[in-house]
Amino acid sequence: MTNLVEMIPYARFLGVAVERVDGAVQCVLPFREEIVGNQRLPAIHGGVLGAFLELTAFLRLLDESGSTDRIPRPINFSVDYLRSAGPAATTARAEIFKLGRRIANVHVVAWQQDQKRPVAYGNGKFLL
Amino acid sequence: MSSDKTATEKQYALASIFGPGRDELIDHTPHARHLGIRVVRTGPCEAVLKLPYRAELVGDPTRGVVFGGAITTLLDHASGLAAACAMETFQAIATVDLRVDYLRAAAPGLDLYGYVRCYKMTKNVAFIRGVAYEHDPEDPFASCQGTLMVGANPTASPFTRFNDEGTGETSG
């Protein structure tokens, strides 16, 4: 899975690390100045959080299929911003809500220090 | 998605800087600077941004196609700016949700544009929709729809500095 991140320039660009917790892929987005969207708070750029959620959903699906022969393609991705994400590492975990023959529906939650206080929630549909 | 009549009659907080290429509108955002995002144009309730093509934004190395998340970032940023361009007084903005539809793969190796319009602004909520394209907004590769919360506290708004400077005129 780490090799996979190495293959995706955008994932490398964000510095995303992949780990496996309780059998499922979990991603970590380290904090750095370049991902700040609002300097006054400061808060991580909403677009970066959305991208990170989408990446996590994508990697979860790839891991599930166990093959890179067929790359899932996103149909759409929706992000709910629940609270502002401060200057700290962000973790995201995806669950495959429905794995159909052609379409997968994936839910993703991201949090910082406290898993019970999520910063963003994502839902994506992917063409398999 | 052209300006309607009521839109042109309103007084906008950022009206004095509407027009082409006001990059100072996003230069205070480290991530936008990092990606090299530029402002193409702002106007009443709308914004057009450009994301210059860079190899590191690619999501699919075999096809050279930019990762969907980078498009989310472009559209998210344009959404915030479009909502700011719809405000009559300076207020903080926070994105509540954003949905991006990937209509087709973006053409590899090209600069990408995001055009977002705030089609309804209420006391508390801004409603936006927009498209991302390479050449023509009528032939987009992605579209988006979202809502932003408009707060009463201007201190967190990066746009207040335009107000701090009096008439909204900037020194760049």
Q: What is the pLDDT of residues A92-107, one digit of tens each?
A: 999 999 999 999 999 9
ipTM of the complex: 0.92
* pLDDT value at residue A97: 94
Name the residue facing B95 among A12, A40, A81 (closest C-beta): A81
Q: Using N-to-C axis directions, what is the helix angle for B68-84 and A46-65, rounded to 10°?
A: 160
Q: Provide the 10 A C-beta neighbour count for residue B81.
A: 28
- Cβ <8 Å between A77 and B99: yes
Q: Is it the case that residue A72 has pLDDT exceeding 80?
A: yes
* pLDDT value at residue B25: 74
- Run of H or E residues at B128: strand B125-133
Q: Which residue of B has its CA nearest to A82?
A: B96
pLDDT single digits (tens) A11-55: 888 899 999 999 888 999 999 988 888 877 788 999 999 999 999
Which one of A16, A39, A40, A68 makes the best mutation probe of the B interface by having the most chain B beta carbons within 10 Å? Answer: A40
Q: Is it the case that residue A88 has pLDDT exceeding 80?
A: yes
Q: Is it the case that residue A80 has pLDDT exceeding 70?
A: yes
* pLDDT value at residue B165: 43
> pLDDT truncated to tens, each residue of chain B (172 aa)?
555 555 557 899 888 889 998 777 777 788 888 888 999 999 999 999 999 998 888 777 777 778 888 899 999 999 999 999 999 988 888 899 999 999 998 998 899 999 999 999 999 999 999 999 999 999 999 999 999 999 855 555 656 555 544 333 333 2
* pLDDT value at residue B22: 76
Q: Is it the case that residue A109 has pLDDT exceeding 90?
A: yes
d(CA B94, CA B89): 15
Q: Is the pTM above the cut of 0.95?
A: no
B-chain residues near A48 (CB < 8 A): 31, 69, 73
Q: Cα torsion at B108, B104, A99, A52 (round to 10°)?
A: 50
Which one of B29, B57, B72, B112 makes the best mutation probe of the A interface by having the most chain A beta carbons within 10 Å? Answer: B72
* pLDDT value at residue B114: 97
- Cβ <8 Å between B99 and A79: yes
Strands (E), chain A: 17-21, 24-29, 36-38, 43-44, 73-81, 90-99, 103-111, 118-127
